[in-house]
Amino acid sequence: MNRIETVTQEGVTLSRMIWSLLRRQPKGYLEIVLGQNPGLAALGPELPVGTKVVFPLDKVPTEDPVEQATRMWD
C-alpha cells in the first residue's frame, strides 16, 4: 500500500516528511522511499513545493534493532 504526499511548504526535507508520517525514523526507510521515487534525490535536500512523494507503507521496517551498550568496566 502506498501513500502519496505533496510538499506544501518551503524548507521540507524527506526526513521531516517521514517523521511527520510515521513519528519515527526507521533505519533504512529513507533509502526505500528514495528507491520508490526516482529523481527525488536530484531535487536537493529541501524539496520544492508541489513535489509529490510516494511512501511505500508496506515496506516500513517494523522495529529498529536495539544496540547493546558497551560498558567500560565489567
For residue range 3-49, list pLDDT tens digits in order. 999 999 999 999 999 999 999 999 999 999 999 999 999 999 999 99
- Mean pLDDT, rounded, for 52-73: 81
What pLDDT sits at residue 36? 97
pLDDT at 74 over 90: no
What pLDDT sits at residue 5? 98
Cα(28)–Cα(31) distance, rounded to whole angstroms? 5
Q: Which long-range contacts (CB under 8 A, 24 or more apart) does 40-47 make?
A: 40/14, 45/13, 46/10, 46/11, 46/12, 46/13, 47/7, 47/12, 47/13, 47/14, 47/17
3 state DSSP class of 18: helix
This prediction's pTM = 0.82
- Mean pLDDT, rounded, for 48-63: 95
Q: Answer whether 29's CB lies under 8 Å from 35's CB.
A: no
